[in-house]
A and B are shown apart, each in its own frame.
Chain A
């Protein structure tokens, strides 16, 4: 196993997976930080985004990357709708009610996807796409280049939003200390709406990228929930930059841990890859519950 195999088959897939986790984790982390509840329907927002984009691809025939804005818009609309209809009225009840209701929302979204698109596996583009080969050694699929570039662009946009705009600053303030933010005259409802716009949009992008990398099925987002939560916790709740770091860290850890570091056998049996995310999450909760970026602590 040489360096180039490591880069091609462990590092690049790790980065792709990390991008997907990071995009999902930002929403989870912000929602957790600002609305103070674990949003279990986040995975199914990803699924919804992926399937809506599938329809756009089917109708227009363009690539999934070009159809992505449509998927983003529809998922943001759904996220705002869910917030208005379900979460906002439950705001004054104990948090656990909202958490449980988010489970319900998850089931409703998934059932809706099943109803509309069926339970079959789908792909944006059938057949196989050979990767591009550089210098006779480095290979990367074109779609993976796009995933990395668009993820980078989305992160830069997010940074710009959080650092430069008034709403972005308000959002960070609310995530840090909601009481203080509220008495300084920040319109919490306005911030919450924007959290859904960002969370929903990035979730849709994560879902579409997962579908592009691989395939679409109705449980795709739900299955992603554990690593995404692990990423959010690793980064620190309420810390979008931490969530991005956490996403990449978990994605890379999952892939790289299966590299044959010692001898010729994989260090960790790939059958237990998904346990890595869980292991990191548990370890963080025990030793550094505030996460890498000093996020909020929940008693």
Chain B
């Protein structure tokens, strides 16, 4: 190799090396685990918009620490356990993220947490994983979530169903952490309230036919079918085959089924008596108005976009934790997370990054009050939350009641 060509190679190497060096100095990387493909794919684009909005608020108002940017690194979990572990490994080992936002589904979150985040001591903050399993997880205090456990959703759903005057239901649920968790608490609460479960059946996702299961479930004269499943995984197929064969004409769904695809594929006219429970935000807080205004300015509408509130909160909280920690150190971020989310402290709301940054710089405690509620973590890293009752109206979902 001549001197000239080695010089050229050297300078090429320098050019190639520069951006990485610069990046690691100027940004704090937050890993985002989301099911970009797979059964939750329909939900994900607005959720990522929301995360990017939080990052934009942070970066436009002074950035993290001493002028670093908050960099979002997305990895695809396919909303399934094994791919989630691979994605988390990539974030922790290759992308070297400081904290992990996500994952979305409970199964993916539990797998990624147990196999990657907990052993590597990286904090994971899920916006949407609702399985009760998360509460008892032996996580060394590294796993948090900003959405309430299905223990609550199951109970609220039982209340809503009883309130409707429905006393006999059949239940079908997807065979994963989400379905099993929520079904168990729902059935317990419903029976305790005097309701009757005429049949229960767990099912495998992505099957071509659920007619056999549904035929069995329709026995015993139930008034409605409770479907605890993701719309894209099995929910739409179950609803369609129920209607086509006359097994059921009334459905009760959870947040997983509350997907716009359901209305699109099944048709509004077939869902007139159907209702849904879903985590929602408390009515009429200032945090909500601020978020709604900011989101709509950036992405036109918040309508029909589910979990954007929780997604924003989780991303903003992680940024606050980094700022409070004073470094991109993984353990320090974990230690700071509770402090910035809970009282005591000066209240900070969505979009108020500049204010939060000043307060933290001055050594004042901050307490983030999120779009989805006050988000004060308990010992297990859980929050209490609000659930809405939704019906289908004018081609989208309309909230008709809020429960806590």
Contact = CB atoms under 8 A, between A and B. Distances in A.
Interface stretch (A25-33, A194-202, A270-278): A270-278
Contacts of A271: 175, 201-204
Interface stretch (A7-15, A78-86, A230-238): A7-15
A57 to B, nearest CB: 15
Contacts of B244: 128-131, 141
B209 A120 contact: no
Contact of B41 (A5, A17, A119, A127): A119
Contacts of A219: 38, 206
A126 interface: yes
A258 to B, nearest CB: 4
B270 interface: yes
B202 A13 contact: no
Given A119-B36, A127-B267, A273 B208 contact: no
A121 B231 CA distance: 10
A214 B232 contact: no
B245 A9 contact: yes
Contacts of B37: 114, 119, 218
Interface string B31-53: 00000111001100000000000
Contacts of B243: 128
A274 B206 CA distance: 10
Interface in A200-241: 210, 213-215, 217-220, 223
A269 interface: yes
B143 interface: no
B215 interface: yes
Interface string B204-217: 10111111111110
A9 B212 contact: yes
B75 to A, nearest CB: 15
A41 B211 CA distance: 29
Nearest to B215: A9
Interface stretch (B66-74, B258-266, B325-333): B258-266
B261 A121 contact: yes
Interface string B163-207: 000000000000100000000000000000000000001111011
Interface stretch (A60-68, A96-104, A152-160, A259-267): A259-267
Nearest to A217: B232
Given A120-B41, A120-B261, A210-B208, A264 B219 contact: yes
Contacts of A288: none
Contacts of B42: 120-121
A123 B263 CA distance: 13
A214 B237 contact: yes
B230 to A, nearest CB: 10
Contacts of A126: 264-267
Interface residues of B, number: 36
B247 to A, nearest CB: 8
B292 interface: no
Range class of the A interface residue count: 35 or more
A121 B212 contact: no
B245 A8 contact: yes
Contacts of A106: none
B225 to A, nearest CB: 14
Contacts of B209: 13, 16-17, 213-214, 255
B213 A270 contact: yes
Nearest to B40: A119
A38 interface: no
B57 interface: no
Contacts of B213: 258, 266, 270
A215 B236 contact: yes
Contact of B270 (A123, A128, A139, A266): A128
A5 B215 contact: yes
Interface in B65-93: none
A213 B206 CA distance: 13
Most buried by A among B36, B216, B264, B265: B216
B240 interface: yes
B130 to A, nearest CB: 20
Contacts of B214: 9
Contacts of A119: 36-38, 41
Contacts of A264: 216, 219
B228 to A, nearest CB: 13
A264 B217 CA distance: 10
B343 to A, nearest CB: 41
Contacts of B245: 8-9, 131, 139
Contacts of B215: 1, 5, 8-10
Contacts of B210: 270
A270 B236 contact: no
Interface string A244-262: 0000000000010011100
Most buried by A among B36, B42, B212, B237: B212
A269 B203 CA distance: 8
B389 to A, nearest CB: 24
Given A128-B240, A217-B232, A13 B175 contact: no
A258 B237 contact: no
Contacts of A17: 208-209
A126 B212 CA distance: 23
B265 A274 contact: no
A22 interface: no
Interface of B: 36-38, 41-42, 175, 201-204, 206-216, 219, 231-232, 236-237, 240, 243-245, 261, 264-267, 270
27 contacts: A1-B219, A8-B211, A9-B211, A9-B214, A10-B215, A17-B208, A121-B232, A121-B261, A128-B270, A131-B244, A213-B208, A213-B209, A215-B236, A218-B37, A220-B206, A255-B209, A255-B211, A255-B212, A258-B212, A264-B216, A264-B219, A266-B201, A269-B202, A270-B204, A270-B212, A271-B201, A271-B203
Given A139-B245, A141-B244, A214-B209, 20 more contacts: A9-B214, A13-B212, A119-B37, A121-B42, A121-B236, A123-B265, A126-B264, A127-B266, A128-B240, A129-B244, A210-B208, A213-B209, A214-B208, A217-B232, A220-B206, A258-B213, A266-B201, A269-B201, A269-B202, A273-B204
